[in-house]
């Protein structure tokens, strides 16, 4: 079984809550839960699978703690790492930059050599544009706890089931 780190940054607790729920659903895999606020690179270096959670602030902005950590992330070698991404955004107020922060993290982890898993169909999502939307799919799990909190649980459960084959 591969070692898993769930690394998140959260300003309003939505991303933290999603990360904790993902950790609960993956309890059989004994994941490490880490807040990027701590600035610790260790989970990136010591785990095989990285599940990264980020929220989008404003237009194309990373959550503050991820923004602060980004220079460290640019220096990491993620070759051989498997990465899954989940992002929180507001599709109602920011339909033209929905979960863009997830797209920003995607771009850097790909550049640093990681393999990204966990793409999601856009079916059921209402948005205009997203930096996290590539080749007809989201590159990770988009969540909108501001306007669609009732969909979060089901979306997380379905996504986790898609990830499990990569975690063995």
Domain span including residue 29: 4-166
**Which pLDDT tens digit goes with each residue over 65-99?**
999 999 999 999 999 999 999 999 998 888 899 99
Which domain CATH number covers 113? 3.40.50.360
Alpha carbon distance 139, 136 (integer Å): 9
Inform me whether the pLDDT recorded for 101 exceeds 90: yes
Largest CA distance in the chain: 41
CA-closest candidate to residue 32, choices 3, 66, 52: 3
Structural domain total, the chain: 1
Alpha carbon distance 105, 102 (integer Å): 5
Q: Which two tokens mark 50?
A: 């990285």
Query: Alpha-carbon dihedral of residues 108, 114, 117, 123, nearest 10 degrees?
Result: 20
Instruction: State what percent of residues in the chain have pLDDT above 90.
Output: 90
User: Which range, of 26-35, 46-55, 56-65, 130-139, averages the lowest pLDDT?
Assistant: 56-65
Q: Which of helix, strand or coil describes residue 119?
A: coil
Q: Which two tokens mark 142?
A: 């988009």
**Which pLDDT tens digit goes with each residue over 120-151?**
999 999 999 999 999 999 999 999 999 999 99
For the whole model, what pTM was predicted? Answer: 0.97
Q: Which of helix, strand or coil describes residue 76?
A: coil
**Which pLDDT tens digit goes with each residue over 17-30?**
999 999 999 999 99
Alpha carbon distance 52, 19 (integer Å): 9
């Amino acid at each position: 079984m591969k070692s898993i780190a769930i690394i998140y940054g959260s300003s309003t607790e939505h991303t933290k809550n999603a990360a904790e729920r993902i950790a609960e659903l993956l309890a059989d895999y004994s994941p490490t839960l880490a807040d990027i606020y701590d600035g610790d690179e260790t989970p990136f270096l010591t785990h095989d699978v990285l599940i990264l959670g980020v929220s989008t602030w404003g237009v194309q902005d990373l959550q503050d703690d991820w923004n602060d950590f980004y220079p460290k992330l640019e220096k990491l070698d993620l070759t051989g790492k498997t990465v899954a991404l989940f992002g929180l955004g507001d599709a109602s107020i920011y339909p033209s930059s929905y979960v863009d922060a997830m797209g920003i993290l995607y771009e850097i982890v790909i550049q640093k050599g990681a393999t990204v898993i966990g793409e999601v169909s856009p079916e059921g999502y209402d948005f205009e544009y997203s930096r996290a939307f590539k080749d007809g799919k989201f590159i990770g799990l988009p969540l909108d706890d501001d306007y669609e909190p009732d969909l979060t649980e089901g979306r997380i459960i379905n996504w986790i089931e898609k990830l499990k084959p990569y975690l063995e």
